Amino acid sequence: MKHLLLVLNLVILASCGVSLTEKKRDEFKPKDQSQIINGTKVAEGAETAKSIVGIYDSENQFTCTGTLLENNVVLTAAHCIEAKAAKIRIVFNNELMATVTARELDIVANFVRRGTSVIVHPGYSEAKTETQNTDWNDLALIKFSGVVPEGYKPATFLTDETLLKKGAMVKLAGYGVTGVETEEVNVKKMKNIDRAIADGELVCEDEVKYEGCFRIHYQGEDNLNETSAPIAGVALTEVRLDETEHGTCVGDSGGPAYIEKDGVNYFFGITSRGSASCNGTGVYTNAVKFKSWIDEEAKKLK
C-alpha cells in the first residue's frame, strides 16, 4: 500500500497500499488493534534486502516498495504511480525516509536515484478497481538513472508455478507501517459522512446505511521489514494470502512476495491490496504471468 506521509491517520490506502476505491469491501472488518504484522526488521546486508528498494513520490509525498530488476528497472504496483518519473526517488537503504531526507549529500548521492521514465500496465485502471475483485493488472515499471549501489542485485524470478499452491508459505517485505489501530465512530454525530468516506477519513462496512464505521490509525517508521503468510488461493493473474496477524500494510504496496525452494527466495508477487485493517486477505499480482510484458516494456524505458 502506498503510505501517505502526512496523513497516516486517514484511510487513504487500504492494506498493501491501495486507495479506498481499490479496496475489497467485503474484507473490511474492524479490529481493536492489529500489529503489522508480526514482522521483523531486515538486517543491513541481508539477502532479503538485496533486491528491494524504497519508492518515494516527492510530489504527492507517499512511499511504496519495489523490486529491483536488471538494467536499472524497478517493478512495483501500478497504483503507486501518480507523479511523473522525475518526481520519483528510488531508495537503496533499509531506512527509506531517513535516507531520502538526509542532509548529508553523500548519503543521498550514494543511496538515492532519480526516476527517468515509467510504464504502467495498460490493463490497469481505477475504473476496473471499482467493478471487479480480481485480476487488476496492478503493475508498473520505473527506470532510474545512476548506478546500482554495491550489494544490490536483481531479483530471481520464479519459474516453477506449481509451488504456488494453497498453504505454501510466502515471504513478504516492504517499507510499510508496523502498527494499526481502529476506532469505532458514531456517524450520528458526524457531518458530511459521504465526503469523509470519499476522502478516506472513514471506512464503513455498509457505505449505504453507514453501518460498521471506523477510523484507522497507522504507525510506522518507513523501515524495511519482513514477514510471511500462507497462500489462501490462486486466481488467473493474482495470488491471495491469509494475512491474519501476519502480512503487508500501508507503504508495502509494490513490494515483493517470494517463495522459497532449496534455500533460494524466488520472486513472484507484487503487493497490490488487502483489508483496511491489514489483518485479513492480501492480494498480490502474479508477476510471473506478466514476465513477457515486463521484459518487453523494460527494453523501451529510457
DSSP 155: P
**pLDDT at position 16, please?**
40
Dihedral of CA atoms 172, 247, 245, 196 in degrees, nearest 10, equals 160
Percent of the chain past pLDDT 90, that is, above it, reads 66
Contacts of 51 (CB under 8 A, 6+ apart): 67, 68, 152, 153, 154, 155, 156, 256, 267
Q: Which residues pair with 4 in a beta bridge?
A: 62
User: What gap in Å lies between CA 212 and CA 203, rounded to an integer?
Assistant: 8
Cell output for 170: 510466502
Reported as a pLDDT band with limits 50, 70 and 90, residue 5 is: very low
Identity of the residue numbered 278:
C
Q: What ranges do the domains of the chain cover?
A: 3-178+220-300
User: What gap in Å lies between CA 302 and CA 297, rounded to an integer?
Assistant: 11
φ and ψ at 80, to 5 degrees?
-85, -10
Class of domain 3-178+220-300: mainly beta
Question: Tens of pLDDT along 213-257?
Answer: 998 888 788 899 999 999 999 999 999 999 998 899 989 999 999
Task: Specify the range with the lowest mean pLDDT, choosing from 3-17, 196-210, 244-258.
Answer: 3-17
**pLDDT at position 22, please?**
32
Is the pLDDT reported for residue 189 higher than 90? Answer: no
**pLDDT at position 254, please?**
97
Is the pLDDT reported for residue 204 higher than 50? Answer: yes
C-beta separation of 279 from 37 below 8 A: yes
C-beta separation of 76 from 140 below 8 A: yes
